[in-house]
Structure 1
Amino acid sequence: MTQPDVPTVVTVRRDTSGRDVASELGPGTFLAPRPLMPAADGLHLALVGTTAGLLAGDDLRIRITVGPGARLHLMEPTGLVAYDHRGGTSSWRAEVEIAEDGELTWDSQPFVVSSGAGVTRSMDVSLAPGARMLWRDTLVLGRSGERGGRIRATTRAVHDGTELLVEDLDLTDPDVRELPGILGPHRVVGAVTALGADPGGPPHPSRMDLVGPGAQIRLLDTDAPAVERELTAVWESWRAP
């Protein structure tokens, strides 16, 4: 009998001395949290891949909890590749809960959807009053020379009990997503999203302000390095104190 995939679990709190510490670092089937060098601005962790990528039947799950006033900074050393699923499907699911005045920054690497892959990806975020999150993500449809597989990416962020961002990005049909006005020839979709606070920063033509505190900048291109360079500039600007 096949055992269910184990989720990656990260729980961070602020102790009585004011330090941000991990009360739980649970490695999952696909990702393991690893502490980085101590820093004054919060706890820094890397999400390190423990498998080659996503195959048919895989269910990658991440659960992140940030306690009151705690600060967590996540980074991914490498991207993730969903390989040809040969008719099957896989999933990537993240659940994030940030308590009062907590902070999470998540600097993710590109998520590559190879031709033949079929992936559902969901990000569910719950923010208490004063909580904030900054998330960078990039979807790449296909490896070099590929058209790319199927992905449906949903995001739901709730701030103080009210929906802040609800998004359903359906890129499952290549013929539809390549139409003018959707993606056209572009196969790279990158974004930096601020939740729970206005990130400030200089004006940007692709900026979309959310219904509550927060904003998003989304970029489309045929070239992943070009998107990553521009997203890096936005990320650094929005991360600035």
Structure 2
Amino acid sequence: MKATARITAVAEAGRTRLVTLRSETPLLVRKTGPSRADGEVEVHLVGGAAGPLGGDRLRIEVAVGPGARLCVRTVAASLALPGPRRAERASRQSPGDAQSTLDIHATVAAGGSLRWLPEPLIAAKGCDHVSRSLVDLESDASLTWREEVVCGRHGEDPGDASLESTVRLAGRTIMRQDVSVGPRAAGWAGPAVLGGGRATGTLLVVDPLWTEKPPEAAVLGPGAARMPLAGGPAAIAQAVGGDLREVRAALDRAFA
């Protein structure tokens, strides 16, 4: 399945208006609730079908105009699953044919704000999924970007999942991160990666108000820490834990 969702937000009279809200199954986009007092508009991605399934090619495009404020959430976790008859296809097709992909490209103009707060990706047994995110920020743009992955369902070994993220501020890369779990990711469960944990998450915040002094480095718990980033008014929090609740609690403390 191939599907694309597009969201474009612009500022008008101190409020944010959605001028583009287009989607295809399974990437259905819905505006949810009234605008906040600061003018922010919230939308949710609603899963219109199971997945992502092996072979799916999904893409999300987000554009936030000058002064606009947008929050993007999902109504539930994304469950990456193997495609139908994966073993049969693998015998006659290349490995990439059974892989599911999600490409996310977001742009935020000067004075704009994007909060990307989806529920986690769950890497179910047998899946082969790659998520690639690219965020381009102009000077004075604000960003909150959360990514989380859970290694399999309850009592289940995970499939293969990879999250690749790049954030650029005024054309300069301030974050480049890859996280891979699953049978083909060497050492993913070892002390250098998850250390036996079943979930991991990242929360990146870019705030122009931090130009003079971003948050200092801090330990947030046994498997969590916050660190300022070079090259911009930004800081990142990362956490590893036995389950999503533990990871989310640590990330929520990072910028409270």
Q: TM-score, normalised by structure 2?
A: 0.84
d(CA) in 1 for partners of 2:44, 2:82: 27
Give 1:11's aligned residue: 8
d(CA) in 2 for partners of 1:31, 1:61: 8
Q: Equivalent residues in 2 for 1:179-194 (5 A)?
A: 179-194=190-205
Give 1:157's aligned residue: 167
d(CA) in 1 for partners of 2:243, 2:175: 27
1:204 pairs with 198, 218, 231, which one?
A: 218
Deviation at 1:209, TM superposition (A): 1.3
Give 2:238's aligned residue: 218
- What residue ranges of structure 2 are gaps of 5+ in the alignment? 91-97, 220-224
d(CA) in 1 for partners of 2:32, 2:216: 31
Q: Determine if contact 2:227/2:235 at 8 Å carries over to the other structure.
A: yes
d(CA) in 1 for partners of 2:101, 2:149: 14
1:30 pairs with 14, 26, 38, which one?
A: 26
- What residue ranges of structure 1 are gaps of 5+ in the alignment? none
1:120 pairs with 130, 134, 144, which one?
A: 130
Give 2:94's aligned residue: none
AA aligned to 2:164 is T
Deviation at 1:202, TM superposition (A): 8.1
Give 1:228's aligned residue: 248
RMSD, matched Cα: 1.9
d(CA) in 2 for partners of 1:195, 1:54: 29
Q: Determine if contact 1:29/1:60 at 8 Å carries over to the other structure.
A: no
Aligned-partner SS, 1:229: helix
Deviation at 1:44, TM superposition (A): 1.4
Q: TM-score, normalised by structure 1?
A: 0.89
Deviation at 1:84, TM superposition (A): 2.7
Tell which deviates more after alignment, 101-110 or 174-183: 174-183
- Is structure 2 residue 113 aligned with structure 1 residue 103? yes
State the 4+ residue runs in structure 1 displaced beyond 4 angstroms.
Answer: 199-203
1:136 pairs with 133, 146, 149, which one?
A: 146
